Chain A
Amino acid sequence: MKFVCLGYIDASMWESLPKEEAEKAMEDCMAYDNELRKGGHFAGGGALAAPQNGVTLRHQNGQVRVTDGPFIETKEQIGGILLLEARDLNHAIQLMSKHPGVRMGPFEIRPADEAMNLQILEISERLAKEASAT
């Protein structure tokens, strides 16, 4: 099964860390990601730039409006995502609970919606067929 793991982090806490500590934390995370790769559990992912470097799109009054970063009133923002391949939810919990990232902020584990993804795949294949037929 595929799981999407969302790692949250408090940016001000992260910035206040001494340089060595921050570097060690990053290295630990990378090393653990390699552990996951070795076992065939790492299916992609990476760190995200700070929310202030992002924008939010909204559909309003028939137009798309662009605003600054996500407006979330929490200190913890998504700092990285990881795609995980695991046998079941408990296996995913086992793998992620040893991830050093969990010490820096909460990790949310969400199963991929396999049924929905299958539907998406079928529709996209049909559209591709129709496109090539014309």
Chain B
Amino acid sequence: MVDEDRPDIRQFVDELYRTESRRVFATLVRLLSDFDLAEEAMHEAFTSAFVKWQEEGIPQNPRAWLVSTGRFKAIDTIRRRVRFDESLGEIARRLDDEKDQFAAIDEENIEDDRLRLIFTCCHPAIPPNAQVALTLREVCGLRTEEIASAFLTTPPTIAQRIVRGKQKIRDAGIPFEVPTIPQMPQRLDSVLSVIYLVFNEGYSASSGETVTRHDLSEEAIRLGRLLVQLLPDTEAIGLLALMLIQESRRLARTSASGDIILLEDQDRSLWVLPYIAEGAELVQQALKTRRFGVYTIQAAIAAVHAEAQTPEDTDWAQIIALYDVLSRIEPSPVVDLNRAVAIAMRDGPEAGLTLIDDILAEGTLSEYHLAHAARADLCRRMGNTVDAVNAYRRALELAKQEPERRFLEGRLKQLS
């Protein structure tokens, strides 16, 4: 036992809760195969730590102490509650069978438990919006009310998603494990898309930038870091890089009044350089593996933009080359649209306009406001005011987000 000053125990346990509770919880989920029991056991273990450590001092390995205490507490709880819930009998029998309980809490296993938990919460059998809510609550430890306010919805809505998600895990018998190599690509895609969805929810200007929404982006970056640390897959690294570089521009993206500021008009001194540096380094690391995918390429494009001191310094040729790679890996009209805009920057607006008109004629993006806004911008630069006004009007008809509408209205005002 380590000798500690007793009054500091409360602070020590609080700090431990902040840093270790999600890890302890993940391990208990594996040991108990039940989210609700694990949550309760984790809280009981921390409560018990506070009392016991006052008397006996802090153990050598607090985390292992918390896990094994949590496990014992859960066994007690199950024995007392079998009368209310027969299904607990099954878990009780399994826990009694586990002779080798100390092996269950060795360090290496515990590290993997969080990865198991991420894959469980993001299992494709669970509806996507429940995946997001479960990941934020169970992996990140956010409260239901915090998730609801970040997603601009009510706590009951989020609570029901979480309940449904947990039911699905129980009913479908989704195992608490990291997928095998053959399943990995598809399962990892699911995890990456949940993380990126959380990030974008915090990043998009859909409803003013409230503090909680900013927290969502931070949370997504934290999750991205955790994933890279536990599973250094190329696309996980690419996604982390993409989020860091996008996050670096947060302050420059909107004016004080919440209006959109385009990349070319942003005050680049507001970009957060350490994020850009870290992101660029991760991009290099991911590109070296030669096994990169869409997140890495998007991160590489973001890095090229971020490394330009002024808009004029942007290496458009490099960006076009990256879009070419992107459309080979995952062709989509939105990628074509971005590529057309980059070509307009390198070769002049006429070249870009021809491409955009082809894309609009193809039809998939005819209802996509950004396609019309891009067309309007090129017409404006060519001095073709009538076409520009028409395209801005069409974009305004289709745009739903308030900041985007204000931006388009501003452009229309300038032209008329």
Contacts and interface: CB of A to CB of B under 8 A. Distances in A.
A and B found bound together? yes
Interface of A: 1, 28, 31-32, 35, 39-40, 87-91, 93-94, 98, 100, 111
Nearest to B35: A94
Interface in B49-96: 80-81, 83-85
B131 to A, nearest CB: 15
B39 interface: yes
Contacts of A1: 145
Contact of A90 (B40, B81, B144): B144
A60 to B, nearest CB: 35
B81 A88 contact: no
Given A28-B83, A32-B84, A35-B80, A90 B44 contact: no
A134 B155 CA distance: 45
Most chain-A CB neighbours within 10 Å: which of B39, B47, B144, B158? B144
Classify the interface of chain A: helix, strand, loop or mixed.
Answer: helix
Contacts of A31: 83-84
A89 B44 contact: no
Contacts of A87: 43, 143
B40 A39 contact: yes
Contacts, number: 44
A28 B84 contact: yes
Interface residues of B, number: 22
B297 interface: no
A93 B85 contact: no
B84 A89 contact: no
Interface of B: 36, 39-40, 43-44, 47, 80-81, 83-85, 137, 143-146, 155-156, 158-159, 162-163
B47 A40 contact: yes
Contacts of A40: 47
A89 B155 contact: yes
B16 to A, nearest CB: 17
Contacts of B159: 89-90, 93
18 contacts: A32-B84, A39-B40, A40-B47, A87-B43, A87-B143, A88-B144, A88-B145, A88-B155, A89-B144, A89-B145, A89-B155, A89-B159, A91-B39, A93-B163, A94-B36, A94-B39, A98-B81, A98-B84
Nearest to A87: B143
Given A90-B144, A111-B145, 9 more contacts: A28-B83, A31-B83, A32-B84, A39-B40, A87-B43, A89-B145, A90-B162, A93-B163, A98-B81
A88 B143 contact: yes
Nearest to B88: A98
A102 to B, nearest CB: 10
A39 B156 CA distance: 24
Nearest to B40: A39
B144 to A, nearest CB: 4
